[in-house]
Chains A and B, each alone.
Chain A
């Protein structure tokens, strides 16, 4: 057991750190979503030119080929220096890795480079109004018509759909097969009349997400990833890798919020309040436990090569602790915490989604119960 960085890990961190210090683009512009997105696109291009954009991608596909520990160090540095996210987040963490793992040579040739450069933005069309946690029940259907497919249905919670060139789309291609077997993984060109994107306004007032309405949208055969009917497996294997290496950055985000919270508590003269002190300590302990649990999981993944279901614990902790932190901030601030549009009221409201997005806490508990503890399946 050694929690210090090895010489080469420390050298890697120093390299990342100094590059970011020299090339930090400054904070993204606020208030204008389109301008912000363009800012992040330019930033991604700069990262790509220096080889950082595809941090987890193999070198032969233009990536950095970083180990999981290095990815973790990299993401932690990004969070530490409050670097804006690259524009094509979903392409980088999901779209590219899917194509690399399951795509053919032509698909790799066609899709990978523009993902890295940010020239083609990707979004993800998985969830549907009637298929949330039970994703495999999805109803969007694709019908084969001589070398191309016509897709009809509705997708929801689609981040960046209005900016995206391509959508990772799960659609049912066999109505008669068992529900997990009849699904195919497509790459949908968003640039066509049969794709209608509408923003979805959230309780925070902003519209981070979209709905997509598909009416006989066209997808050519060559845009199928993997086998027809094999889409579920493709989606699952890549979902498992989605969070690898992201734990450290999530922890750093929580630590940031904790620092801000402590500053507020001091400002308002509540640092001697025994109840507040206990709550802050409790959260400190939880966040530290999450940091250490992520490191333990990372060590295991490095050994076995496959992320285990224990990663569900970190996601669960993150949601719980972020919600508790922002609730406490909201509470200690008095009226300012309730003011519409204030920083803390936004954080407080936005964190309500943490226990829903990317796997509800209930689904995570099911995974832990069934796959870690070996309890009998519910279904």
Chain B
């Protein structure tokens, strides 16, 4: 029993952290967000590092590492709030890897692994399009339609760009579910996707926590640092708890995807719910610690706050994840008729 990243995974995390800190300084995040844009040369660099294909099998053109390695990268990408199509691309590839036919795999996975193609994913809930991640720039789109998932080249999908409160990523809304059905284990793909999103949210929560703690140490009111007041310090402790719960559940879920698939559905639903809550609660709580300055356009917290809110609601709401947990926990599937 050993619940820690191994040396190699820690090295991946450290390298990703340093790379992203150097390339995506907050002023760069702001510049790209203001321009509503990604930086093609940075995406090329990320692709050359092999990140989009880290969890794609070697025979499909990827690095053949596991879900844990991808989670580590996405956590750091969330920490940096890096504007890039990494989540859409790696996310679409997870679903195609789990559920695609040989043909679908060989058509798309090598291109997604190399970063030559960009992926997007999203779905329909009660007939309404969810927010599709990375859609306007995508080459290939995975759509969950309630029955399973469809795969289509982006050129065949009717959509419009969606300007979300989060401007560090591009989003779209789709008019109808389009494409060829993915014949394999769509649920396993969707669970992995939920874990990928959970990883990004964990990184977002970690960064917001650090912003709040740094500020609480420095900011003086009534002649002392505000972090010495329990009303503030206990709020920070609660932010740490939320972040660590999100991280524990996400790492565990990633481990089940690689090593214990029978535990994956429950683990993914739990990670999905907790990370979506943490990805909103922690930045929101950080804003309260920062006070007025955190509410200004000038302050960087807004990027993490907004991305955390949107990312936690891309593939269903925290409530949807919890409903799945209830279903799997011995309460059985809800018989309630949807309103």
Contact = CB atoms under 8 A, between A and B. Distances in A.
Our verdict on whether A and B bind, yes or no, reads yes
Given A2-B259, A373-B213, A278 B249 contact: no
B270 interface: yes
A368 B332 CA distance: 38
Interface in A358-379: 362, 364-366, 368-370, 372-378
Contacts of A296: 3-4, 248
A16 to B, nearest CB: 15
User: Which among A2, A280, A289, A313 has the highest number of chain B CB atoms within 10 Å?
Assistant: A289
Interface stretch (A4-12, A208-216, A330-338): A4-12
Main secondary structure of the interface of A (DSSP, over half): helix
B252 A3 contact: yes
Given A365-B237, A374-B213, A281 B336 contact: no
Residues of A in contact with B, size category: 35 or more
A310 B241 CA distance: 10
B251 A1 contact: yes
Interface of B: 1-6, 9, 68, 213, 216-217, 224-225, 227-230, 233-234, 236-238, 240-241, 244-246, 248-249, 251-252, 255, 259-260, 270, 273-274, 319, 322-323, 325-326, 329-332, 334-336
B213 A265 contact: no
Contacts of B228: 375-378
Contact of B322 (A4, A282, A293, A370): A282
A201 interface: no
A299 interface: yes
B334 A277 contact: yes
Nearest to A289: B245
Contacts, number: 160
Given A373-B240, A376-B228, 12 more contacts: A1-B4, A1-B251, A2-B1, A3-B259, A4-B259, A277-B326, A285-B274, A285-B322, A289-B246, A295-B3, A300-B4, A365-B237
Interface string A258-296: 010010011000011010011011101110111011011
A69 interface: yes
26 contacts: A1-B2, A1-B3, A1-B5, A3-B3, A4-B1, A262-B330, A274-B323, A277-B323, A277-B334, A278-B322, A285-B270, A289-B244, A292-B249, A298-B1, A300-B4, A310-B244, A362-B234, A365-B234, A368-B241, A373-B236, A375-B213, A375-B216, A375-B225, A376-B228, A377-B228, A378-B229
Given A293-B248, A369-B236, A281 B4 contact: no
A373 B255 contact: no
Nearest to A278: B322
Contacts of B252: 3, 288, 292
B249 A316 contact: no
A317 interface: yes
B255 to A, nearest CB: 5
Interface of A: 1-6, 9, 69, 259, 262, 265-266, 271-272, 274, 277-278, 280-282, 284-286, 288-290, 292-293, 295-296, 298-300, 303, 310, 313, 316-317, 362, 364-366, 368-370, 372-378
